[in-house]
């Protein structure tokens, strides 16, 4: 939000109580279940969470890119003050590519394998900006230069399979940036890449965001990736945002026991080897039959009976940007009480649990 | 069709008579293509080497002329020939050709050409089988001059002119015959003297002939004739009815009613020709025993057969002749439909415990082992098989079925490798013309006497019939022959085959066919018609 | 860097596994070319030790692990396990030897037969080797299933797809344990798992290692994970070795430019750590046609002429810290 | 962190599974019921009080000339020979089903074995077997069948064998492909590393994985074999003396008048053949996607 | 390069195997002597017939051992001489028959394939776009129905309805009719072949399209703001065509099989009906020639499919 334009009064994106359900043979999958947040222009938001927590569905739901069959989508999505909910696909098309665009996880599958790179970049340029072929080609070449692809002119005539993974991801970024969108979604943009390449891609995305004063929603399961690249982080669990805070705040003073467990279960380079990792027992909730109360309660070491029956709402901390959904957050008296109990018990069971 | 009447005396000159008008009168106009649906495709069109079935005759009638022709009164009259005269002993016949006739390829029709045809047929491996038994090995045909030749016969035969109105009487260009020997594919492209010239042929689809502008017999009206094989009789009928064919022939009884009912169709229907019958091979056990032959005869469901396959159109046959024929003997009835009697005969036979030639028992469990051969795959063949199987099995026979391709079927019949088979034959308008199927001399390695049944006394009758000076005498001999055939139990007569030749109303003049002398000719013989007088409006 | 050599091999009686000059090549279908998946690496593992192997995708980690099991047999090189040379064993001898080394694979789902009950999968090795009576087998299997945290009751009636990824990985571990192996090769056992579950499996492996006295080879591309579990870490690049050191040492003082980049590139989950990875040129080249000299030379920031022609050998740059580089970072 | 929690989280899986298991759908059961019904009718045909399939029910005085249309007396009508089509169709099911069943069994036995061997051992064995498959496949199946029927006699056994031979290549190729695919899966590697022998791996690890999904194919294959038999019978080349659906259809359609005036002769056997093939196809298809679902739900 | 040589070698080996098998089988089966001489072939005790038999044997090399005859046949075949039709009067060359009949079958197959492809592509595109909806389910049911209808039964139904009842199409094929008339005469036959094929293609293409439509690059295309039809036709169809092309290609073999029955029902004198006839007549040079031509077509189609593949899929270009 440091980069946000002070003159903007309304946020670029305002999502409130967004629900996205899928009707399936098993029942209704509540993939996104009441998510609200807002994003200023130029700001970057990181969304983290375990696999299946609804990150991808959330970002696609906001963009309106989900298929129409068996979908239930409710709530409100305001983009630049305009309500997107209820817009027809036709109306959305003018927003896609121009106003919002997206980078996908797997660069191998996200480019059309049988179409030349040049055409794939030129397509939105010709469609939205009304460029003719040669203009689009020139622009495409410039875009490739922007994403630091060597020999851009030659690349335009190549097919995706002739490029390496990192290159392809750069092409994707070039396509996403082509029409100068104001909001960029990046869904796990580096998961399929090697670490050495990942670093550069992240750098590139951030650099372009700053240059173009775009907002960014960066979706990932790797907390490390969001730590250095976003202004605000939202933690998702079971289709809900369970905690949201400015990056630094989140790392220094998380409130959700889930956030804590997540942080502590990740091996860190700075820790000595053989440092025992904290674990979260069990597995993420079934989104068809989510638990009654707090989604995390069945796995939460600090859960109390109340958590199992009542769903916690979002609580705002002293920092208005920092919200969480927990009855007994980290630092609360009940939290400390239970923590003490647990440490005593683990002394007794020092032979070591299996988890 | 007309009743065949015996010829009273040898014809030397063509008689003149008026032809009955059977169709709507009108002045013939030139033009038009006659599309003629036939029941099957034919293998080859060379009269000296290909075995001609009905479809081949239909095509042959367009492209060839025969030396004699069947007059409307049932006699054989000169056609390509100008005259045909016997010697005193009726063994040598002198034939004089009409002058100035040319084949389609420009070759002259002369006695050498006729002799070439005869010699080719005589030498032909298969066609010759039916020729050789009646002619000397040397000099059967002798050339007298350019237009005159003499046929030398082994037996006296007053009915010889009838022999020259069939395949043997069709005269093909000797040039073409010679060429066809070199390149047998030419057998598909016949060259004759006929009213139409061969134009093109696509097997299984259409064979096309076009008008011979220089036909010796006068003006030909039709521009062209297309002969189209349509195997399914119902489809053939359908095509005739909706105008995709102009003419067709059929023996299928189901089509007959529809043909009769259709006002717009002109039909020539008669059942004087062939008979369908079962044939029993008397050369091998168990059917060398007359008891077994009689048993299978009695076991045969003739009435049911006629109900299912006659459809009320075909008449039951008792002998080679229909009741209208002068040769018909009302005392002779085909036995059948008596399973009990059959069982008794079988029991008697099986009690003897005889063995077949290869040493296996003729009976198993008191039932006679036999094989039934039929042509397949075919729906009708299977239906007939089902019907006979059921009745024979109930009357003491162990039947094995052997379905054979058409060619195999004929081969096995010719070689005598069968017990019982179904057949269609005996269509000749002059009964003596059928002698070839009955004489002892046609029993052999390959037998035209299919049942391989030789009876000297019958041979005597057969030869006597062909020299009978009066029709009364001939009739009485033929009745004795019929009795003899009945008593031998080698044929089980089932039905008189009904042939229909049908034309749409656009086709005229089919029955106006005449010789140059103006003798009216029979217009439909066993499913074939002439095309010389046909015109289309 | 990224080179060969054996300076780092120890000459201790406790060495359980010793790999020498391991080379694995695969023919490329239809072309006659070959993939140089592993091109001469050597290492040893002492009893009770955990050796970590890291490297980017395609550098030959899995191939190395499988070559030890002779699945498939390496193109050349020797593999000495407990004094037994594995590469020259007959088929039957190898079958026998395999029971002492077991392997766990990356994909927890694909490593379990979807059509067999979980308990049968774990029991299978005992049946193959006809070990013990049925009762003994039942007891052993139940115990091991409980050790890995799977309810034996449920295992007896369920199929793999009825378990989560983490549970499947534990079932794989259980299967590898029943034959009482001396060594387990773990090929990216946690890469397919969620962070929360990943920790469960890592902890489980640590526990079991202590309980069963196992020696581990732990392969992963995630340095933090490898570091967390290993005693020593081998860094590979394009089928060659780069660096081998004790895990803490390696991260504290990476000497190979590649190791350094790798360590640098990892985004730490800590906003305080300024994330400024060393720029690295391009991406790993194809193992079909690897560069001459040091295989890392085209991407190396410190490249010298020598690196392009001469292949570096492993040398000890500090006690128990080996590196294959002509121009290592100052220690 | 305790075992309790693990076990608690187990329960949803079981439910999910139950839910998936149920979802094969009523259509499948309907189709299977039809197949079972027709099979039972075929087996029991001689014992049901059907009309004699070879009997001639000619009744010229009452009904005129055959064929007779469907009536209370003859449910499906009669053919031109006044034979009861209902009885004949049910009897015809016997040969059709026997041929279908034995052909696909033979195809599975031979093709499946060859395919698995080829896929598992690879190398030259695979090359030879695959080549054999290609050779078999380069004859259109009906061409091969016609050639073989012409070559051999046309007993029930040979016709079944011929159609069985035809199914070797398709079944074998599929078995080979899925063996290849499964033997790359790590559980096969895992089996090898515990020292299991090749035969054990094939029998225990590969066979269930290859064969169970292919059981759906068996239903489809049976349908194909039944149709192929029908095609042969239609050309007059199937079992020489028996009644089969194909031959019944041929009887009803051989002549255009019969087809036009007595369409029931051909249409009732067509209907039964169609329903049976439809059911087998449908059940096979359902079963296949059902078996797939189980896998993809991993 | 080496790969292509391997392929060619493989194709040749395939053709050799197929021809050797067929040659062997047909020689065991057929008795050419009988085809040529008819009943005379069995009349061995008659010296005249016996001499004739010897003559024919010598003329057509029937006295030589099988392998020798095979090699000779192969050599002849390679030079375009397919031998003679034993069972036809005069033993005309097989090549004449083939030349006369093959255009009809090819026309029929091309017409059928075109119809099938023309029906299936839009059908698949429409159903894939509405996957899971009512109309899609109905179409799935329809294709099930089509596929469960054996081709001879379908042929009968079509003939019954369109030829016999409605009279829209003629009952016969006539070789000398004008070209377009003949196209009309084979149309119903082509439809009979095309409908089930279209159902197969549709199901396949629909599945592949649905898979493709779920892929990220389609989402990417949509996220660019492209219209639905553009997404389907520009982005989705081409990458979904691989198995479609393979199956359309390989299915041609199957269609030839289907044409046997269909040509018989509609009485079209093509290769298929000719094959049935010659098998029944045991005229093996004809069977052999047709089978080899079919196998040859199979091999060539395979290669064409490969080439087509490399045109639409840049990944396989080398
Ligand atoms: N089209 C769909 N139909 C039914 N369920 C769906 C669909 N798409 C997603 N889901 C379900 O919604 C839930 C959330 O999925 P989502 O893909 O958003 O998770 P994610 O957080 O992105 O996970 P990952 O890290 O694995 O990408 C999952 O349970 C998933 O199975
Ligand atoms: N069976 C094989 N046939 C051909 N090439 C192979 C085979 N297995 C592996 N390779 C190639 O060998 C190289 C090393 O592969 P390997 O699987 O060992 O890498 P890895 O380090 O385990 O990678 P990852 O992290 O992706 O698992 C790769 O280029 C790979 O493509
Ligand atoms: Mg996701
Ligand atoms: Mg690997």
Is the pLDDT reported for residue B15 higher than 70? Answer: no
DSSP code at position C317: E
Residue C26 in contact with ligand 2 by CB distance below 6 A: yes
Q: Which residue of C has its CA nearest to A350?
A: C207
Residues of chain E with Cβ-Cβ distance to A25 below 8 Å are: none
Q: With cut-offs at 50, 70 and 90, classify the pLDDT of residue E316.
A: low
Phi, psi for residue D194 in degrees, rounded to 5: -85, 5
Ligand 1: distance of its center to the CA of A60 in Å?
A: 11
Is A269 close to C227, i.e. CB distance below 8 A?
Answer: yes
Is E225 close to A93, i.e. CB distance below 8 A?
Answer: yes
Predicted pLDDT of residue C111: 87
Q: Which of C26, C33, C286 to mutate to test the pocket of ligand 2 (most atoms within 8 A of CB)?
A: C26
pLDDT tens for D26-64 read: 888 999 999 999 999 988 888 888 888 888 888 878 778
Query: Of all protein residues, whose CA lies closest to atom 17 belonging to ligand 1?
Result: A56
Predicted pLDDT of residue A9: 64
Q: Are the C-beta atoms of residues B377 and D236 closer than 8 Å to each other?
A: yes
Q: Which residue has the tokens 């499913």?
A: B527
Is the dihedral angle over the CA atoms B294, B300, B303, B309 positive or is it negative? Answer: negative
Residue A289 in contact with ligand 1 by CB distance below 6 A: no
Q: Which residue has the tokens 């080349």?
A: D237
What CA–CA distance (Å, rounded) separates E154 from E147?
Answer: 10
Q: What is the CA radius of gyration of chain B?
A: 23
Predicted pLDDT of residue C30: 64
Predicted pLDDT of residue B23: 47
Q: Which residue has the tokens 């100052």?
A: C330
pLDDT tens for A177-224 read: 888 899 999 998 888 788 888 888 888 888 889 998 999 999 998 888
Could you tell me if A95 lies within 8 Å of chain E, comparing CB atoms?
yes
Interface of D with C in 225-284 (CB under 8 A): none
Query: Of all protein residues, whose CA lies closest to atom 14 belonging to ligand 2?
Result: C60
A335-346 average pLDDT score: 84
Q: Which CA distances in Å does C144 have to B324, B391, C147, D11?
A: 104, 78, 5, 22
Q: Are the C-beta atoms of residues C6 and C316 closer than 8 Å to each other?
A: no
Interface of E with A in 99-138 (CB under 8 A): 131-133
Predicted pLDDT of residue A183: 93
Q: With cut-offs at 50, 70 and 90, classify the pLDDT of residue B146.
A: very high
Residues of chain E with Cβ-Cβ distance to D285 below 8 Å are: 144
User: Cis omega before residue D271 (within 30°)?
Assistant: no
Task: Set out the domains of chain C in order of their start, with CATH numbers.
Answer: 1-100+214-289+312-331 (3.40.50.300)
Is D208 close to C151, i.e. CB distance below 8 A?
Answer: no
Predicted pLDDT of residue A347: 62
Could you tell me if E176 lies within 8 Å of chain B, comparing CB atoms?
yes
Alpha carbon of E317: minimum distance to chain A alpha carbons (Å) = 11
Residues of chain B with Cβ-Cβ distance to D60 below 8 Å are: 307
C/E Cβ contact: 3+ pairs below 8 Å: yes
Could you tell me if B203 lies within 8 Å of chain E, comparing CB atoms?
yes
Chain D interface mutation, best of B379, B380, B398, B405, highest count of D Cβ atoms under 10 Å: B379
Interface of C with A in 42-71 (CB under 8 A): 56-57
Is the dihedral angle over the CA atoms A112, A113, A114, A120 positive or is it negative? Answer: positive
pLDDT tens for E200-246 read: 899 889 888 888 888 888 888 888 888 888 888 888 888 888 888 88
Dihedral, CA atoms, B509, B512, B516, B518, nearest 10 degrees?
-150
Q: Structure tokens of D295?
A: 């896998």
What CA–CA distance (Å, rounded) separates E53 from E42?
Answer: 9
3-state secondary structure of C33: coil
Predicted pLDDT of residue B389: 92
Interface of B with D in 246-285 (CB under 8 A): 254-255, 258
Ligand 1: distance of its center to the CA of C326 in Å?
A: 49
Ligand 4: distance of its center to the CA of B210 in Å?
A: 82
Residues 6+ apart with CB under 8 A from A208: A146, A147, A173, A177, A214
What CA–CA distance (Å, rounded) separates B456 from B479?
Answer: 17
pLDDT tens for B273-329 read: 889 999 999 999 899 999 999 999 999 999 999 988 888 889 999 999 999 899 999
Chain D interface mutation, best of C62, C69, C115, highest count of D Cβ atoms under 10 Å: C115
* One-character DSSP codes across B377-440: S-HHHHHHHHHHHHHHHHTTEEEEEEEE-HHHHHHHHHHT--SEEEEEE---SSGGGGGGGT-G
Q: Structure tokens of A268?
A: 């860190």
| Closest ligand, as measured to the CA of C57 | 2
In chain E, the percentage of residues whose pLDDT exceeds 90 is 12
Q: Which residue of D has its CA nearest to C123?
A: D194
pLDDT tens for A277-306 read: 888 887 788 888 888 889 999 888 888 899
Predicted pLDDT of residue C11: 81
Q: With cut-offs at 50, 70 and 90, classify the pLDDT of residue D13.
A: very low
Is D56 close to B387, i.e. CB distance below 8 A?
Answer: yes
Is E3 close to C32, i.e. CB distance below 8 A?
Answer: no
Low-confidence stretches of chain C (pLDDT beneath 70): 1-3, 29-31, 273-279, 331
Predicted pLDDT of residue A240: 93
| Neighbors of chain E by Cβ distance (3+ pairs < 8 Å) | A, B, C, D
DSSP code at position B102: B
Is E40 close to B244, i.e. CB distance below 8 A?
Answer: no
pLDDT tens for E42-58 read: 788 888 888 888 888 88
Is the dihedral angle over the CA atoms E304, E305, E310, E316 positive or is it negative? Answer: negative
Is the pLDDT reported for residue B14 higher than 50? Answer: no
Q: Are the C-beta atoms of residues B9 and B490 closer than 8 Å to each other?
A: no
Could you tell me if A265 lies within 8 Å of chain D, comparing CB atoms?
no
Residues of chain C with Cβ-Cβ distance to A195 below 8 Å are: 56, 221, 223, 262, 265-266
Residue C57 in contact with ligand 2 by CB distance below 6 A: yes
* Closest ligand 2 atom to C55 CA: 21
Predicted pLDDT of residue D296: 43
Closest CA to E290 of D138, C252, B213: D138
Alpha carbon of E28: minimum distance to chain B alpha carbons (Å) = 16
Q: Which CA distances in Å does E211 have to A113, A267, A306, B288, E207?
A: 14, 37, 45, 75, 6
Chain C interface mutation, best of E1, E3, E6, E9, highest count of C Cβ atoms under 10 Å: E3
Q: Are the C-beta atoms of residues D281 and C100 closer than 8 Å to each other?
A: no
Is D194 close to C103, i.e. CB distance below 8 A?
Answer: no
Please state which of the ranges A48-62, D28-42, E87-101 shows the lowest mean pLDDT: E87-101
Q: Are the C-beta atoms of residues C149 and C203 closer than 8 Å to each other?
A: no
In chain E, the percentage of residues whose pLDDT exceeds 70 is 97
Predicted pLDDT of residue A350: 46
Residue A34 in contact with ligand 1 by CB distance below 6 A: no
Angle between helices E216-223 and A165-177 (to 10 degrees): 20
| Neighbors of chain A by Cβ distance (3+ pairs < 8 Å) | C, D, E
* One-character DSSP codes across B323-360: TTSTT--TT-------HHHHHHHHHHHHHT--B-TTS-
Is D150 close to E29, i.e. CB distance below 8 A?
Answer: yes
What CA–CA distance (Å, rounded) separates C211 from E25?
Answer: 69
E174-201 average pLDDT score: 88
Closest CA to D271 of D73, D76, D133: D76
Among A251-260, B422-431, B488-497, C9-18, which range has the highest average pLDDT?
A: B488-497
Alpha carbon of E226: minimum distance to chain D alpha carbons (Å) = 31
3-state secondary structure of C58: coil
Higher pLDDT, C331 or D174: D174
What CA–CA distance (Å, rounded) separates B161 from C94?
Answer: 99
Query: Of all protein residues, whose CA lies closest to atom 10 belonging to ligand 1?
Result: A31
Query: Of all protein residues, whose CA lies closest to atom 28 belonging to ligand 1?
Result: A52
| Closest ligand, as measured to the CA of A52 | 1
pTM summary value: 0.82
What CA–CA distance (Å, rounded) separates B333 from E316?
Answer: 83
Q: Is the ipTM of this complex over 0.85?
A: no
Residues of chain A with Cβ-Cβ distance to E211 below 8 Å are: none
Residues of chain D with Cβ-Cβ distance to A282 below 8 Å are: 5-6, 8-9
Residue A61 in contact with ligand 1 by CB distance below 6 A: no
Could you tell me if D186 lies within 8 Å of chain C, comparing CB atoms?
yes
Predicted pLDDT of residue B25: 59
Predicted pLDDT of residue B3: 34
Element (H, E) at B309: helix B302-310
Cβ burial of B429 (10 Å; 0-12, 13-18, 19+) is buried
Higher pLDDT, B47 or C12: B47
pLDDT tens for B458-501 read: 999 999 999 999 999 999 999 999 999 999 999 999 999 999 99
- C183-187 vs C101-104, strand pairing mode: parallel
Query: Of all protein residues, whose CA lies closest to atom 17 belonging to ligand 2?
Result: C62
Predicted pLDDT of residue C122: 92
Is the pLDDT reported for residue D295 higher than 70? Answer: no
Is the pLDDT reported for residue E189 higher than 90? Answer: yes
């Amino acid at each position: 939000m440091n980069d946000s334009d002070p003159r903007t009064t309304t946020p670029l994106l305002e999502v409130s109580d967004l629900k996205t359900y899928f009707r399936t043979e098993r029942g209704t999958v509540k993939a996104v279940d009441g998510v609200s947040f807002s994003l200023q222009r130029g700001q970057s938001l990181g969304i983290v969470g375990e696999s299946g927590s609804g990150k991808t569905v959330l970002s696609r739901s906001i963009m309106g890119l989900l298929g129409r069959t068996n979908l239930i989508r409710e709530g409100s999505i305001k983009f630049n003050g305009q309500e997107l909910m209820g817009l027809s696909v036709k109306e959305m098309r003018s927003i896609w590519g121009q106003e919002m665009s997206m980078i996908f996880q797997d660069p191998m599958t996200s480019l059309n394998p049988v179409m030349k790179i040049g055409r794939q970049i030129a397509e939105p340029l010709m469609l939205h900006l009304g460029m003719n072929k040669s203009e689009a080609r020139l622009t495409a070449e410039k875009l490739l230069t922007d994403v630091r692809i060597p020999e851009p002119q030659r690349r335009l005539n190549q097919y995706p399979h002739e490029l390496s993974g990192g290159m392809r991801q750069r092409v994707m970024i070039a396509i996403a940036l082509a029409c100068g969108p104001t909001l960029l979604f990046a869904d796990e943009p580096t998961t399929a890449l090697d670490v050495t390449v990942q670093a550069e891609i992240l750098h590139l995305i951030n650099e372009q965001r700053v240059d173009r004063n775009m907002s960014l929603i960066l979706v990932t399961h790797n907390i490390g990736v969001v730590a250095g690249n976003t202004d605000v982080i939202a933690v998702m669990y079971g289709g809900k945002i369970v905690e949201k805070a400015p990056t630094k705040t989140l790392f220094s003073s998380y409130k959700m026991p889930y956030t804590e467990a997540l942080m502590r279960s990740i091996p860190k380079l700075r820790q000595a080897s053989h440092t025992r990792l904290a674990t979260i027992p069990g597995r993420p909730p079934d989104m068809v039959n989510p638990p009654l109360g707090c989604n995390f309660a069945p796995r939460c070491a600090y859960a109390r009976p109340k958590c199992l029956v009542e769903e916690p709402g979002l609580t705002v901390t002293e920092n208005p940007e920092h919200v969480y959904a927990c009855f007994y957050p980290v630092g609360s008296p009940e939290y400390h009480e239970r923590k003490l109990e647990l440490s005593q018990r683990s002394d007794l069971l020092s032979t070591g649990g299996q988890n | 069709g007309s009743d065949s009447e015996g010829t009273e005396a040898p014809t030397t000159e063509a008689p003149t008579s008026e032809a009955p008008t059977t169709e709507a009168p009108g002045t013939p106009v030139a033009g038009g293509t006659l599309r003629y649906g036939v029941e099957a495709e034919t293998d080859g069109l060379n009269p000296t080497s290909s075995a001609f079935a009905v479809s081949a005759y239909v095509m042959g009638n367009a492209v060839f002329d025969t030396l004699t022709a069947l007059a409307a009164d049932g006699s054989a009259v000169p056609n390509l020939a100008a005259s045909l005269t016997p010697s005193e002993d009726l063994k040598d016949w002198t034939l004089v050709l009409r002058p100035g006739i040319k084949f389609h390829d420009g070759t002259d029709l002369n006695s050498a050409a006729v002799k070439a045809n005869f010699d080719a047929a005589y030498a032909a491996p298969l066609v010759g089988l039916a020729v050789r038994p009646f002619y000397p090995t040397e000099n059967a045909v002798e050339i007298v001059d350019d237009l005159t030749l003499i046929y030398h016969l082994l037996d006296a035969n007053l009915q010889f002119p009838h022999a020259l109105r069939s395949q043997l009487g069709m005269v093909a260009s000797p040039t073409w015959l010679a060429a066809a020997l070199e390149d047998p594919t030419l057998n598909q492209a016949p060259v004759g003297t006929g009213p139409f010239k061969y134009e093109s042929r696509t097997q299984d689809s259409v064979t096309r002939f076009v008008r011979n502008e220089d036909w010796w017999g006068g003006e030909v009206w039709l521009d062209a004739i297309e002969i189209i094989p349509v195997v399914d009789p119902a489809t053939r009928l359908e095509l005739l009815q909706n105008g995709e064919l102009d003419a067709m022939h059929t023996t299928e009884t189901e089509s007959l009613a529809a043909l009769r009912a259709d006002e717009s169709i002109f039909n020539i229907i008669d059942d004087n020709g062939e008979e369908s019958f079962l044939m029993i091979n008397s050369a091998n056990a168990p059917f060398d025993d007359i008891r077994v032959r009689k048993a299978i005869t009695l076991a045969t469901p003739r009435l049911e057969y006629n109900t299912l396959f006659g459809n009320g159109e075909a008449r039951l046959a008792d002998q080679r002749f229909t009741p209208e024929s002068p040769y018909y003997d009302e005392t002779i009835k085909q036995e059948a439909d008596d399973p009990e009697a059959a069982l008794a005969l079988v029991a008697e036979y099986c009690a003897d415990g005889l063995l077949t030639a290869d040493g296996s028992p003729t009976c198993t469990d008191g039932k006679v082992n036999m094989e039934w051969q039929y042509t397949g795959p075919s729906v009708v063949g299977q239906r007939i098989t089902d019907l006979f199987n059921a009745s024979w099995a109930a009357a003491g026979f162990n039947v094995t079925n052997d379905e054979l391709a058409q060619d195999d079927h004929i081969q096995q019949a010719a070689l005598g490798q069968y017990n019982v088979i179904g057949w269609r034959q005996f269509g000749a308008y002059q009964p003596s013309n059928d002698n070839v199927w009955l004489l002892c001399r046609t029993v052999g390695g390959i037998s035209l006497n299919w049942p391989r049944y030789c009876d000297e006394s019958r041979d005597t009758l057969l030869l006597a019939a062909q020299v009978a000076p009066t029709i009364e005498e001939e009739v009485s001999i033929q009745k004795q022959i019929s009795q003899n055939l009945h008593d031998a139990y080698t044929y089980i007569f089932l039905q008189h085959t009904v042939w229909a030749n049908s034309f749409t109303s656009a086709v005229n003049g089919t029955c106006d066919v005449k010789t140059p002398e103006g003798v009216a000719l029979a217009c439909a013989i066993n499913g074939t018609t002439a095309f010389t007088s046909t015109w289309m409006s | 860097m990224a080179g060969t050599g054996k300076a780092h091999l120890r000459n201790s009686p406790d060495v359980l596994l010793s790999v020498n000059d391991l080379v694995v090549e695969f023919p490329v279908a239809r072309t006659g070319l070959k993939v140089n998946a592993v091109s001469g690496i050597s290492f040893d593992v002492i009893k009770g030790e955990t050796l970590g192997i890291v490297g980017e995708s395609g550098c030959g980690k899995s191939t190395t692990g499988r070559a030890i099991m002779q699945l498939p047999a390496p193109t050349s090189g020797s593999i000495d396990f407990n004094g037994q040379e594995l590469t020259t064993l007959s088929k039957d001898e190898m079958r026998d030897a395999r029971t002492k080394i077991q392997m766990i694979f990356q994909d927890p789902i694909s490593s379990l037969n979807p059509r067999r009950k979980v308990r049968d999968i774990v029991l299978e090795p005992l049946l193959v080797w006809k070990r013990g009576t049925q009762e003994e087998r039942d007891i052993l299997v139940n115990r091991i299933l409980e050790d890995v945290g799977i309810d034996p009751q449920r295992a007896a009636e369920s199929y793999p797809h009825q378990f989560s990824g983490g549970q499947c990985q534990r079932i794989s571990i259980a299967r590898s344990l029943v034959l009482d192996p001396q060594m387990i090769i773990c090929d990216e056992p946690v890469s397919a798992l969620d962070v929360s579950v990943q920790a469960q499996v890592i902890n489980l492996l640590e526990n079991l290692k202590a309980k069963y006295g196992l020696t581990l080879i732990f392969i992963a591309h995630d340095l933090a994970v490898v570091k967390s579990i290993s005693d020593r870490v081998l860094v590979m690049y394009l089928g060659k070795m780069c660096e081998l050191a004790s895990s803490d040492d390696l991260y504290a003082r990476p000497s190979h430019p590649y190791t350094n980049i790798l360590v640098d590139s990892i985004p730490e989950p800590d906003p305080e750590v300024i994330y400024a990875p060393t720029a690295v040129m391009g991406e790993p080249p194809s193992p079909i046609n690897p560069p001459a000299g040091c295989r890392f030379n085209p991407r190396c920031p410190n490249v010298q002429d020598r690196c392009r022609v001469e292949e570096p050998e492993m040398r000890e740059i500090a006690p128990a810290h080996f590196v294959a580089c002509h121009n290592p970072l100052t220690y | 962190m305790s075992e309790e929690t693990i076990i608690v989280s187990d329960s949803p899986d079981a439910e999910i599974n139950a839910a998936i298991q149920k979802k094969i759908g009523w259509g499948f059961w309907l189709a299977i019921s039809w197949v079972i019904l027709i099979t039972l009718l075929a087996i029991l045909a001689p014992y049901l009080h059907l009309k004699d399939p070879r009997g001639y029910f000619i009744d010229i005085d009452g009904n005129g000339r055959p064929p007779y249309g469907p009536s209370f007396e003859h449910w499906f009508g009669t053919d031109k020979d006044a034979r009861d089509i209902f009885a004949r169709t049910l009897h015809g099911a016997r040969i059709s089903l026997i041929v279908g069943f034995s052909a696909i069994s033979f195809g599975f036995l031979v093709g499946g074995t060859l395919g698995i061997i080829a896929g598992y051992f690879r190398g030259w064995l695979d090359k030879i077997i695959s080549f054999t498959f290609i050779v078999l496949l380069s004859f259109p199946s009906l061409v091969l069948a016609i050639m073989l029927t012409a070559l051999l006699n046309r007993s029930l056994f040979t016709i079944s064998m011929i159609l069985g031979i035809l199914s070797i290549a398709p079944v074998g190729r599929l078995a080979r492909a899925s063996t290849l695919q499964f033997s790359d899966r790590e559980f096969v590697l895992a089996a090898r590393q515990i020292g299991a022998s090749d035969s054990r791996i094939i029998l225990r690890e590969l066979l269930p994985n290859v064969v169970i999904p292919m059981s759906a194919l068996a239903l489809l294959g049976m349908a194909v074999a039944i149709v192929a038999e029908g095609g042969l019978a239609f050309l007059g080349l199937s079992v020489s003396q028996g009644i089969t659906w194909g031959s019944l259809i041929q009887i009803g359609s051989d002549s255009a008048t019969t087809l036009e005036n007595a369409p029931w002769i051909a249409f009732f056997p067509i209907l039964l053949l169609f329903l049976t093939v439809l059911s087998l196809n449908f059940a096979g298809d359902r079963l296949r996607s059902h078996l797939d679902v189980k896998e993809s739900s991993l | 390069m080496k790969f292509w040589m391997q392929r060619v070698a493989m194709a040749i080996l395939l053709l050799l195997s197929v021809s050797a098998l067929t040659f062997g089988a047909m020689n065991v089966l057929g008795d050419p002597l009988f085809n040529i001489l008819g009943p005379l072939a069995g009349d061995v005790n008659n010296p005249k017939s016996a001499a004739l038999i010897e003559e024919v044997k010598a003329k057509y090399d029937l006295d030589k051992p099988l392998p020798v005859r095979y090699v000779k046949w192969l050599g002849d075949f390679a030079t375009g001489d397919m031998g003679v039709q034993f069972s036809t009067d005069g033993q005309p060359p097989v090549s004449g028959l083939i030349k006369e009949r093959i255009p009809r079958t090819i026309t029929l197959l091309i017409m059928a394939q075109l119809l099938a492809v023309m029906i299936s592509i839009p059908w698949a595109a429409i159903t894939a776009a509405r996957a899971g909806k009512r109309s899609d389910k109905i179409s799935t049911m329809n294709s099930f129905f089509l596929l469960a209808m054996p081709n001879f039964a379908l042929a009968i139904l079509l003939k019954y309805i369109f030829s016999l009842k409605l009279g829209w199409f003629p009952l016969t094929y006539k070789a000398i009719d004008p070209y377009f008339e003949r196209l009309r005469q084979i149309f119903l036959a082509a439809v009979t072949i095309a409908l089930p094929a279209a159902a197969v293609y549709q199901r396949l293409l629909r599945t592949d399209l649905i898979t493709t439509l779920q892929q990220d690059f389609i989402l990417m295309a949509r996220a660019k703001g492209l219209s639905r039809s553009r997404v389907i036709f520009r982005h989705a169809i081409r990458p979904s065509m691989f198995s479609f092309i393979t199956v359309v290609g390989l299915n041609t073999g199957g269609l030839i099989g289907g044409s046997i029955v269909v040509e018989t029902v509609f009485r079209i004198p093509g290769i298929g009906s000719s094959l049935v006839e010659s098998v029944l007549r045991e005229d093996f040079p004809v069977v052999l020639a047709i089978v080899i031509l079919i196998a040859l077509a199979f091999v060539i189609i395979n290669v064409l499919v490969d080439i087509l593949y490399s045109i639409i899929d840049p990944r396989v270009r080398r």
